[in-house]
């Protein structure tokens, strides 16, 4: 399958990574796969940066694409640390029931947790959570703030501070 990077021909497609529309003429990444519902191929569209973060192998397989260095680096980090593309967003745990996939302890209500997803059968499925403090152990790097900010657009400056402190404390 040949994946592509091209300017969006319309503003209708939604990004599979962040759920927001991809503006007409903005560069977008298209992952091609066999159509799960019938014959032929399906294309799954992402903003360039969202594709780099969530589908690094496929993203980097596009030949001859001129991609900003910072975006390419996000994809390369995702290849070095294979769990990084699982980062879907960060959120405060609504209850104290879920356990962390890394340390196996409960994630206390109202504390920050990272939502993990994997791509299977043409969609992202949730596979659980990790404490923000467990990032280094789980992902192999604590350098995840750019991804968290990208996929959690609603974070305030104070919340970003709080999360970066939790990451710095690991």
Residues at the contact surface with Zn ion, assessed by CB under 5 A: 15, 17-18, 47, 50, 100, 102-103, 131, 134
Tokens of 122: 């043409």
**Which of 77/151 has CB closer to Zn ion?**
151
**Smallest distance, Zn ion to C-beta of residue 103, A:** 3
Nearest 5°: CA angle at 79, between 16 and 29?
Answer: 30
**Which of 26/34 has CB closer to Zn ion?**
26
**Smallest distance, Zn ion to C-beta of residue 151, A:** 8
Best CA proximity match to 61, nearest among 86, 31, 28: 31
Best CA proximity match to 119, nearest among 69, 71, 78: 78
Question: Measured between alpha carbons, how far is residue 3 from residues 6, 83, 162 in Å?
Answer: 10, 21, 38
Query: Could you tell me if 105 and 139 are in contact, meaning their C-beta atoms sit under 8 angstroms apart?
Result: no
**Which of 34/108 has CB closer to Zn ion?**
108
**Smallest distance, Zn ion to C-beta of residue 20, A:** 6
**Which of 34/125 has CB closer to Zn ion?**
125
**Which of 32/136 has CB closer to Zn ion?**
136
**Smallest distance, Zn ion to C-beta of residue 99, A:** 8
**Smallest distance, Zn ion to C-beta of residue 22, A:** 7
Helix (H, G, I), strand (E, B) or coil at 97: coil
Tokens of 15: 């990004």
Helix (H, G, I), strand (E, B) or coil at 72: helix
Query: Could you tell me if 56 and 76 are in contact, meaning their C-beta atoms sit under 8 angstroms apart?
Result: yes
């Amino acid at each position: 399958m040949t994946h592509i990077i091209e300017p969006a021909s319309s503003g209708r497609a939604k990004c599979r990574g962040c759920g927001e529309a991809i503006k007409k003429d903005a560069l977008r990444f298209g992952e091609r796969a066999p159509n799960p519902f019938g014959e032929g191929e399906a294309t799954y569209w992402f903003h360039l940066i969202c594709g780099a973060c969530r589908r690094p192998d496929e993203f980097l397989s596009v030949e001859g694409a001129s991609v900003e260095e910072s975006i390419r680096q996000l994809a390369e980090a995702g290849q070095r640390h294979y769990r990084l593309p699982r980062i879907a967003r960060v959120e405060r745990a609504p209850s104290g029931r879920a356990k962390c996939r890394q340390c196996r302890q409960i994630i206390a209500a109202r504390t920050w947790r990272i939502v993990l997803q994997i791509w299977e059968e043409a969609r992202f499925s949730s596979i659980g959570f990790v404490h923000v403090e467990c990032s280094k152990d789980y992902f192999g790097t604590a350098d995840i703030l750019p991804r968290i900010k990208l996929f959690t657009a609603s974070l305030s400056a104070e919340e970003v501070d709080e999360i970066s402190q939790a990451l710095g404390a690991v």
